[in-house]
Chain A
Amino acid sequence: MDITSLTIHELKDMLLKKEITSYELTKAYIDRIKKLDPKINAYITVCEESALAKAKEIDDKIDKGEKLGALAGIPIGIKDNICIKDIKTTCASKMLENFVAPYSATVIEKLNAEDAIIIGKLNMDEFAMGGSTERSAFFITKNPWDFTKVPGGSSGGSAAAVSADLATAALGSDTGGSIRQPASFCSLVGLKTTYGLVSRYGLVAFASSLDQIGPLTKDVTDCALVLNCLTGKDDKDTTSANIEKIDYTQYLKADIKGLKIGMPKEYMGEGLQTDVKNAVLEAKKVFESLGAIVEECTIPVTQYLLPTYYILACAEASSNLGRFDGIRYGYRTPNYETLKELYTKSRSEGFGPEVKRRILLGTYVLSSGYYDAYYKQAQKVRTIAINQFKELFEKYDVLLTPTSPITAFEIGSKTDDPVAMYLADICTVSINIAGVPAISIPCGFDSNKLPIGMQLIGNHFDEKTLIQFAYTYEQNTSWYKNKPELEV
């Protein structure tokens, strides 16, 4: 058995019983990263020195019998748009290639407080804009299940690292599916929390009303363990919600008898791969056999949510990315005379094509003459969406959909046509628009042995019910136990 393949809850047990040390564990990951990551390209930065030093500290604490945090000694990878003090935060962009964060994100402070080991920073689509990690300015991350396929995105490095046992768990960020879709492409559990449950302080902003940080893990128990450490009101993020802290491990119970699942028909229609459809229908039967009541339902506004998403996300991005001007931090062009030239050239040379495309679209929909037709209209459609979700949760405990209509696609196959690429986000974006939580869990494999994920959607701040459903399913199936075959 290779210790890198184990889950947080298994490793925690071994660490406490002193069967292994955190140093051994961290070293095992570092060695594996050195051997395997040149083929996968999940990591932008590996924090070898600081990770090993921290591991020694934790081992010391264990030896002395000191009080330990909930993630003591566990190596965790971090998406490279989450700031860690004194470590590079690049957002996989030339713009921030040399940016060293002067502070840590709140989630990092929280992981540190729980004695986790930060093992490195993970690749992503530039500024989290994309669904394949092909838009990283540095390199393309491979899907550990098939090196010719994308790992999904934008948290593709996070998903590839956990799936290839290059980290025990990872943090990602999700603006329109960026945790859930890569989790489904790599056979992992990925959770997008309710907007406001987790502080965004220190997450480089893409679309502030949609972004959330969340975990990618090997199973549902690990998801609950990491989630426990992330939540809570933060004065540094005024959108973080002031709600009572919940111990999500209390909801790791295999019982969903009598609970109700809605299956919105709009997510099971056109464009869905047959294997994906069948896997989700199989999952439905599993839920029924475990005593849940499953009914078809409808979210009529669904077909409009993809354009709504792109209008809102790009509008917010064009505003958020205005700060990159080559003055206070980030890339500055060597060739300029006037201030306007300094701005324009720094931005044009520092940003990649997809980021520029989204800034243009965002500026367009916010510009005079178009604001009402696009941006305002999108905000109104958003209200309709929120209300339609609200109504459904009066009737159902959770909703069930595929996470992605397709499984992991060929590297290079979709990058030319922006609209075709955006269409693949259809199942996930509506969740961010409504601000509700959703979890992706493994539910099968397609005929090419590529992972399939299903998405369970919950009511605002009802992550506990998602955990309960996901855990119940996991305990009665074995998809999550499959691992990619990797030669080290």
Chain B
Amino acid sequence: MNISKDELKHIADLSNLYFTEEELEKYAKDMSSIVEFANQLNDVDTTNVELTTSILGEYNVFREDEVKPSFKREELLKNAPEQQDGMFKIPKVIGG
């Protein structure tokens, strides 16, 4: 199965990844061979087989809603590439 460059561009956009034309060609080739390999799965008869949603059969895990100490703001901002006034800084997204 072939994944076209256009199709890959769409997937890249969904993934928030950018590729040059040259890279797109290489990745389209890689992806086609991986997807081809994955297509084997269609040979398995899975009629009446349930999906695995949890390995241990656990579904919801509950705990008491207790207030516990959390991280200090400064601690968490230490790794921020850009910050201002105790907040993460991003480019303007509303209006122009």
Interface stretch among A257-265, A335-343, A439-447? A335-343
Once the chains are docked, how many angstroms separate the CA of A415 from the CA of B56? Answer: 35
Chain B residues lying within 8 Å of A195, measured Cβ to Cβ, are: 55-56
- With both beta carbons as reference points, the residue of chain A lying nearest to B48 in the complex is identified as A380
Q: Which of A307, A332, A356 has the most CB of B within 10 A?
A: A307
- For chain B, residues 58 to 74, give those with C-beta under 8 angstroms from any C-beta of chain A: 58, 61, 63, 71
Chain A residues lying within 8 Å of B63, measured Cβ to Cβ, are: 235
A360 in contact with B17 (CB, 8 Å): yes
- Interface footprint category on B: 35 or more
Among B15, B51, B79, B93, contact of A360 (Cβ-Cβ < 8 Å): B15
Chain B residues lying within 8 Å of A363, measured Cβ to Cβ, are: 11, 14-15
Min CB gap A289→B, angstroms: 36
B11 in contact with A379 (CB, 8 Å): no
Chain A residues lying within 8 Å of B76, measured Cβ to Cβ, are: 102, 328
B1-40 near A? 1/0 per residue, CB < 8 Å: 0010000100110111111000000010011011101111
Known: A332-B82, A384-B46. A347 touches B17 (CB 8 A): yes
Once the chains are docked, how many angstroms separate the CA of A100 from the CA of B75? Answer: 10
B17 in contact with A344 (CB, 8 Å): yes
Min CB gap A486→B, angstroms: 37
Min CB gap A126→B, angstroms: 15
Min CB gap B68→A, angstroms: 10
- Tally of A-B residue pairs with Cβ under 8 A? 154
Known: A318-B15, A326-B81, A348-B18. A361 touches B52 (CB 8 A): no
Q: Say if the beta carbon of B91 comes within 8 Å of chain A.
A: yes
Known: A195-B56, A381-B46. A364 touches B31 (CB 8 A): yes
B44 in contact with A379 (CB, 8 Å): no
- With both beta carbons as reference points, the residue of chain A lying nearest to B29 in the complex is identified as A418
Once the chains are docked, how many angstroms separate the CA of A357 from the CA of B79? Answer: 26
Min CB gap B17→A, angstroms: 5
A196-225 near B? 1/0 per residue, CB < 8 Å: 100000000000010000000000000000
- With both beta carbons as reference points, the residue of chain A lying nearest to B19 in the complex is identified as A348
- Interface footprint category on A: 35 or more
- With both beta carbons as reference points, the residue of chain B lying nearest to A237 in the complex is identified as B61
Q: Say if the beta carbon of A241 comes within 8 Å of chain B.
A: yes
- With both beta carbons as reference points, the residue of chain B lying nearest to A333 in the complex is identified as B81
Once the chains are docked, how many angstroms separate the CA of A384 from the CA of B15? Answer: 30
Q: Say if the beta carbon of A330 comes within 8 Å of chain B.
A: yes
B50 in contact with A383 (CB, 8 Å): yes
Chain B residues lying within 8 Å of A359, measured Cβ to Cβ, are: 15, 17
Chain B residues lying within 8 Å of A382, measured Cβ to Cβ, are: 51-52
B15 in contact with A380 (CB, 8 Å): no
- For chain A, residues 384 to 424, give those with C-beta under 8 angstroms from any C-beta of chain B: 384, 386, 417-419, 422
A384 in contact with B49 (CB, 8 Å): yes
Known: A364-B11, A383-B52, A419-B33. A311 touches B88 (CB 8 A): no
A102 in contact with B75 (CB, 8 Å): yes
Chain B residues lying within 8 Å of A307, measured Cβ to Cβ, are: 37-41
A329 in contact with B44 (CB, 8 Å): no
Chain A residues lying within 8 Å of B16, measured Cβ to Cβ, are: 322, 325, 340, 343-344, 347
Known: A347-B17, A348-B19, A360-B12. A381 touches B41 (CB 8 A): yes
Q: Which of B18, B39, B43 has the most CB of A within 10 A?
A: B18
- With both beta carbons as reference points, the residue of chain B lying nearest to A318 in the complex is identified as B15
Q: Say if the beta carbon of B84 comes within 8 Å of chain A.
A: no
Taking Cβ atoms with an 8 Å cutoff, the residues of B that contact A are 3, 8, 11-12, 14-19, 27, 30-31, 33-35, 37-44, 46, 49-53, 55-56, 58, 61, 63, 71, 75-76, 78-82, 88, 90-91, 93
| 29 pairs, CB–CB < 8 Å, chain A vs chain B | A100-B79, A238-B58, A304-B41, A307-B38, A318-B15, A325-B16, A327-B90, A339-B91, A339-B93, A342-B90, A342-B91, A348-B17, A356-B15, A359-B15, A360-B11, A360-B15, A360-B31, A361-B31, A363-B15, A367-B11, A376-B51, A379-B53, A381-B46, A383-B50, A384-B49, A418-B34, A419-B33, A422-B34, A435-B55
